[in-house]
A and B are shown apart, each in its own frame.
Chain A
Amino acid sequence: MSAAQPVIQPKMPKSWYKSNKPHLFCPGCGHGMVLKALGEAIDELGIQSKAVFGCDIGCSLLAWNFLDVDSTQTHHGRTTPVMVGIKRSRPELITIAYMGDGGGYAIGSQHTVNAAIRNEKITVILVNNTNYGMTGGQMAPTTLPGQITETTPFGRDPEETGYPTRGPEMVAAIASEGAYVARGTVANFRQLKGFIKKALENQIAGRGFSFVEALSVCPTNWRTNARDTWAFLEDKMTQYFPVGEFKVPQVKEE
């Protein structure tokens, strides 16, 4: 190959940590798409040098060296309070708490609720794949009625185990003015990136709690091929979990 011909490079976001790619997630995992949206949002806002990324236990911890930003990894469900602590001691930093539905709605739900009520100025990105992926696909708070998982082999029965958690609706109901709450899906990448960007801008402006749930896919534990993976996400999940913005801060006109 002649020197004049440039070597083609993959188009990764600038804030991705390139030397650990291909990343640790399974083939077809939605985390890659959510983190691509987050990486592009960080690039466009130019906050790579002052962002702090915190990941939870579960599949989301495999993102601990995914981004080329300051990263930390916390106990299960405790990403929100750790990020709140960092934000309170260094308010100039942009803190991003990254967790799965198990960390945010099950063991860490008290932190999600309390941080939302106190209107802490952090950004929470919660990836909802309707099961506990890392431990083999057990039932999570977000498992859909009738969905088969390791611990619900005959489908989730709402009479016995209740109904799935609708997180953004809950956060939007308890958060005060200035909070930003939205739900995106990896099937609509541009919209999801816009939601994450608005959530980060809300934190930069110091208005309040920013919460984005991203509907994601888990082909490994759903035991689906690519076609059924998209079908489950686009047809079944979005029916129960409507996509959109639930709370947008009122911006004062000057």
Chain B
Amino acid sequence: MSTSAEGVLSVEVPRGAFHLFTNLCKGCGLCKEKCPKDCLIWSECLGSFGTPAVIPDDPQNCIACGICQQVCPDCAILIERKRVK
């Protein structure tokens, strides 16, 4: 996991990358419940309302499906997909 100066949590996962913008995450947890692999947990970093931001517990579990990005009401999650050969 790496945290940039802009408050972006980035995790490299096998099929791409998971990015979370802490200034946008309000900690509602809707993404946590929608994750098909049930792999999102609360992180040590705080979001915009002082609530914990989400992060994949183990990068190997995240399949970069993008459902968390789709259901996030604040566009706080960005999934980058790598082309797997």
Contacts and interface: CB of A to CB of B under 8 A. Distances in A.
Contacts of A219: 28
Interface string B30-54: 1011100000000000001101000
B26 A27 contact: yes
Nearest to A7: B6
Secondary structure at the A interface, as helix, strand, loop or mixed, is loop
Interface in A22-45: 22-23, 25-33, 36
A230 interface: yes
Contacts of B5: 1
B63 interface: no
B74 A21 contact: yes
B44 to A, nearest CB: 19
Interface residues of A, number: 31
Given A1-B5, A8-B8, A28-B26, A23 B32 contact: no
Given A10-B24, A227-B33, A25 B10 contact: no
Interface in B51-85: 51, 69-76, 78
A189 B70 contact: yes
Interface in A221-239: 225-227, 229-230
A190 B67 CA distance: 11
Interface residues of B, number: 29
Interface in A169-201: 186, 189-190
A26 B30 CA distance: 12
Nearest to A190: B70
B48 A229 contact: no
B74 A8 contact: no
B77 to A, nearest CB: 8
Interface in A62-77: none
B27 interface: yes
A219 B48 CA distance: 18
Given A11-B69, A28-B73, A226 B33 contact: yes
A21 B25 CA distance: 10
Given A10-B76, A27-B49, A32-B74, 18 more contacts: A1-B4, A1-B5, A8-B4, A8-B6, A12-B75, A22-B24, A22-B76, A27-B51, A28-B26, A29-B28, A32-B72, A33-B71, A186-B71, A189-B70, A219-B28, A225-B29, A229-B33, A230-B34
Interface of A: 1, 7-12, 16, 21-23, 25-33, 36, 186, 189-190, 217, 219, 225-227, 229-230
9 contacts: A8-B8, A22-B48, A23-B74, A27-B28, A28-B28, A28-B73, A29-B73, A189-B71, A230-B33
